[in-house]
Structure 1
Amino acid sequence: MNNSVTTLQQTRPLLPLRLFNGCGALLEKMHFPARRTLATDLIEAAKRHCGLDDFGGGDFFEALSRLLESCHSEARLSWIGKIALRTNVVQILCSRLQMEQDRQLYPEIGHQEIRQPLFIVGLPRSGTTLLHNLLAADPEHRSPLMWEVMAPSPPTVVDEKGRIQRAAQSCHYFNWLAPTFRYVHAVGAELPQECVGLMTATFLSDQFDTMYYVSSYRAWFFQQDLRPVYEYHRRFLQHLNFRRPAHRWILKAPTHMFAMPALLSVYPDALFVQTHRTPVDAMASVSSLVTILRSAFSDNVDASAACREAIHYWSETMGKFLRERDRLAGDRIYDLEYDAICRDPMAAVRQIYEHFGWSLSPEAERRMRGLVAGHAQRQSGNHRYDLSEFGSSPEEVFSAFAPYCQRFGFSQADDAKRWSSRRAPSRLQTKKRSAFISVTGNNDL
């Protein structure tokens, strides 16, 4: 990968995809538009595919309808994007149908207890993925894996290898759709998955807003009661716990900060780790991620709009979270700085264990150290970004995040000095940093 330009500047669909999308656009100009996708059509398609018709409790029809309408009117999906949307929704609906049948076949699923789960939160691109991977390596811990989220049924070991292989194939297809995304975020069938994947069957999930530009759906979504979403999240964990019980669940999604009241109503004994990074880096990085991801499904992605959305949403979310976290007892949450995680991931892990009174076994430490070393050898590249390419500035970001920056000691002057030194790193700095940034295949941890 060319290190002289940003990852976003090098993002372009492969030639076969450009040709396919071009043919689709030409057909639409010739008045052969793709058929509009309706919620009723996809629901019936899922029922026919699975031979099932019980989606369980909880109404998702309005959420799905609003998502599809927003995709139709705002997302400017390419032909690949329209196919991907339909395929993804039908797969999600099928999983919901199958999981509901599983709960009837295995009533014990509903009796699974999820005690004191740990939620890793913080601004996106602030080290949450690294901690998720490391903490999940402890044999005492469990995190949802991508293949489990994609194919949770049946809740047994039946066809486990086949499900892993199919998930790996899906990851391969995605990497073909978005070749530069692997520099931004690691995608793998057996890697820990964010919680947004457990919530998609409610169609009230931040995952859709990340994949597509759906501003009206986004505005409606943020006004909804999210307790039913977390109740479904818990049902999903019970499903996974039935197959392989966990002493402790390690969960992760920055978007949990937006819904703390709903989360705590379902998980009243939850524990938290909050990671911290200067918002300038976080907003530049997440804007790059969203733009690159949306570019896999649309040929008309507005990078500046993605950045404006990110700054507004995450500054509002952080303000809401800080008010809620002040109600938590101090022993239920631990703070970690991104730079501290970069310097010594294992020291960061030990601090978490000490804070919560956990025991770090030799086997857990061996696995974690092996994870760091192994990924360092397989590093695939760096995620490069610059806030200016999104039409924003450090001043705008610091203004939006002023309360957060003041509380946790981030200053614009320090940030400017750090960026200046970063532009010309020494060989020693680069070598030291590469051992840690590669855990997730990018330099955002």
Structure 2
Amino acid sequence: MFDTAIALRPSPQPATPGNSNRRVAALNGLLARSWASGLLSTPSLDPAELVATAVRQTGLDDLGRDHWRPALEQLCRSLETEADLNPFGRTVAHGQIVGALKTRLRAHALWQRHPEILETPLSAPIVVLGQMRSGTTRLQRLLACDPRLDHTRFFESSHPLPQRGRKLRAAVALQAMAALNRDFAAIHPTGAGLPDEEIGLFAPGLISSQFEVQWRVPGYARWCEAADTRAAYAEFRALLQTLRWLRGRRDDRPWVLKVPQFTQDLPALLASFPDARLLCVERDRAAVVGSAASLVHNQMQLQSDAADPHWIGREWLGKVVHREGVVARTLAQRPCVPRHTVDYARMDDDWLAEMQRVYDFLGLPLTAPVAAAMTAYIERSAQGRRPHRYAIADFGLCPDTIADRRAA
């Protein structure tokens, strides 16, 4: 009940169509004038040109298997016909896609030079399985307090390959985004060296929900929901092996994995990690949809001057329901997959008791030093953090609409 009450509470600054960010508006004007004058070229979103740019900038040409090409073509088609990007959004889209392709080229070159990377052990990962905004970050960061477990840091997700200053690059990127988007820290506080999800590791395969969060690309979203993503998850595993190899670790400690996209791709995830143990995070659907829509609107309005909160509400309600269906069907078909339910409300009420249940499921003792580290994390995260306020009505939704929606 508490969860839903927050989602129903009027927000101090209701989500509205358009973009009121003055800094982004000024940047859009500067970019538009530069393109019109010929000072800068308009960034291309043509798939062939994006690939050619990545090849030219890296001097490499082996992109591996071609499963990513249809995804790239669909993403670019959606960006051109659906996303209604402003100049800043077009620049970001071009840069992100070229960057993803460059990572792809460099990864395959690295694996050719060091085939032993793909033999790196990666056994029995602990998968935090939950919708975006369901409390998965809190659970992941609590588990990251345990030195017996591995986790991914933000800079590793955004820059997974050997590169001088990659942590600094990630920090600079976060600072730049914070300057343009001051509200994001209240929604998802992070830092270059902090535990974070592995969403960046899906970008090189061009099948990544990070694109759907930033841009209105429903054609691409439906394509991804219907796609066979097993090849993308095989490469995701290879990139995790690369991170472990770069760390110089020889032990095979359990890795805590957390990406909300897992709920959409659970069969493919289990194909690459058949020994995974699932921590299934559950939260009131109204709160999940409202919080997700708020985050997406926060991101989308930076890159489009026509971000529509009501469309976002409908889209992400549908996405949440679709992902619920995938998880329910997959787990019903695979009763032997180890899983444990973690309840958001119980975590709010007594996080330590909930974590004790998690550790009992994992067969690990929750030691006093680990519990103390977790307590310190909880206390730090509460200090100075602004609450994330949103109202489902801002997104054209009401409790009955959300509760009654069923998967198609």
Tell me the TM-score normalised to structure 1 length: 0.82
Residue of structure 2 in register with 1:235 after alignment: 238
User: Gaps spanning 5+ residues in structure 2: where?
Assistant: 1-9
- The separation in 2 between residues aligned to 1:114 and 1:370, in whole angstroms, is 29
Alpha-carbon distance, 1:360 to partner: 2.5
User: Displacement of 1:25 after TM fit?
Assistant: 5.9
Q: Report 1:203-242 matches (<5 A).
A: 203-242=206-245
Once residues 216 and 11 of structure 1 are traced to their aligned partners in structure 2, the CA distance between those partners, rounded to angstroms, is 21
Pairing 1:320-335 to 2, within 5 Å after superposition: 320-329=326-335, 332-335=338-341
In structure 2, what is the Cα distance between the partners aligned to 1:312 and 1:11? 22
Instruction: With a CA cutoff of 8 Å and minimum separation of 6, indicate the structure with the bigger relative contact order.
Output: 2
d(CA) in 2 for partners of 1:58 and 1:117?
A: 28
1:24 and 1:51, CA in 2 relative to 1: closer, same or farther beyond 3 A?
closer
CA 1:337–1:346: 2 relative to 1, 3 Å: same
What is the one-letter code of the residue matched to 1:40?
A: A
Question: How much does 1:283 deviate?
Answer: 0.7
CA distance in 2, matches of 1:151, 1:321: 29
Mapping of residues 89-108 of structure 1, within 5 Å = 89-108=97-116
Aligned to 2:360: 354
Partner Cα separation in structure 1 for residue 34 and residue 107 of structure 2: 39
* 1:73-124 deviation line (CA, Å, top 9, x unaligned): 1111111111111111121112122222221222220101211111111232
Matched residue of 1:141: which SS?
coil
Question: Is residue 176 from structure 1 mapped to residue 179 from structure 2 by the alignment?
Answer: yes
Please list, as runs of the form range in 1=range in 2, the aligned pairs for 1:266-305 lying within 5 A after superposition. 266-305=272-311
Map 1:301-320 → 2, pairs under 5 A = 301-320=307-326
Rounded to whole Å, the distance in 2 between the matches of 1:77 and 1:141 is 41
Provide the rounded CA distance (Å) in 2 between the counterparts of 1:331 and 1:62: 31
Question: Contact conserved, 1:331 with 1:355, CA < 8 A, in 2?
Answer: no
Matches of 2:393 and 2:405, distance apart in 1: 16
Q: Say whether residues 1:80 and 2:85 are aligned partners.
A: no
Aligned-residue identity in percent: 28
Aligned partner (choices 383, 386, 389) of residue 384 of structure 1: 389
1:19 matched to 2:32: no
Structure 1 residue matching 2:265: 3-state secondary structure: helix
- Give 1:12 deviation, angstroms: 5.5
* TM-fit CA distance, 1:164: 1.0
State the Cα distance separating 1:36 from its structure 2 match: 4.2
Shift of 1:145: 1.3
Offset, 1:365: 2.3
The reply to whether residue 60 of structure 1 matches residue 71 of structure 2 is no
Are 2:157 and 1:149 equivalent residues in the alignment? Answer: yes
Task: Between 230-239 and 182-191, report the one with greater CA deviation.
Answer: 182-191
Report the Cα distance in structure 2 between the residues aligned to 1:265 and 1:235, rounded to whole angstroms. Answer: 13
Q: Which shows bigger deviation, 341-350 or 10-19?
A: 10-19
Q: Is the 8 A contact 2:160 2:201 kept in 1?
A: no
Distance 1:4 1:396, change over 3 A: closer
1:127 match = 135
Task: State yes or no: 1:342 paired with 2:339.
Answer: no
Give the letter aligned to residue 18 of structure 1.
A
Q: Please state if 1:5 is matched with 2:51.
A: no
Distance 1:75 1:19, change over 3 A: same
Aligned residues: 395
> Post-superposition shift, 1:213?
0.3
Name the counterpart of 2:196. Answer: 193
Distance in 1 separating the partners of 2:60 and 2:27: 34
Contact 2:55 2:102 survives alignment (8 Å): yes
Structure 2: which amino acid aligns with 1:357? Answer: G
Asked if structure 2 preserves the Cα contact closer than 8 Å seen for 1:132 and 1:192, the reply is yes
Q: Is the 8 A contact 2:44 2:94 kept in 1?
A: no
* SS in structure 1 at match of 2:63: coil
Q: Given that residues 264 and 326 in structure 2 are in contact (C-alpha distance below 8 angstroms), is that contact kept between their aligned partners in structure 1?
A: yes
Q: How far off its partner does 1:193 sit?
A: 2.6
Q: What amino acid is aligned across from residue 263 of structure 1 in structure 2?
A: L
Quick one: distance in 2 between partners of 1:7 and 1:241?
43
3-state SS of paired residue (1:348): helix
| Residue equivalent to 1:51 | 59
In structure 1, the residue matched to 2:45 is 37
Q: CA RMSD in A?
A: 2.6
Aligned to 1:69: 77
> Partner of 1:142: helix, strand, or coil?
coil
**Distance in structure 1 (CA, Å) of the matches to 2:92 and 2:264:** 27
CA distance in 2, matches of 1:247, 1:268: 16
How far off is 1:33 after superposition? Answer: 9.7
The separation in 1 between residues aligned to 2:268 and 2:396, in whole angstroms, is 34
The answer for the alignment partner of 2:398 in structure 1 is 393
Matched, 1:165 2:171: no
TM-score normalised to structure 2 length: 0.90
Bigger Cα displacement from structure 2, 137-146 vs 327-336: 327-336
What are the residue-to-residue correspondences of 1:100-119 with 2, within 5 Å? 100-119=108-127
Give the C-alpha shift of residue 180 in structure 1: 1.0
Structure 1 residue 310, shift from structure 2 partner? 1.0
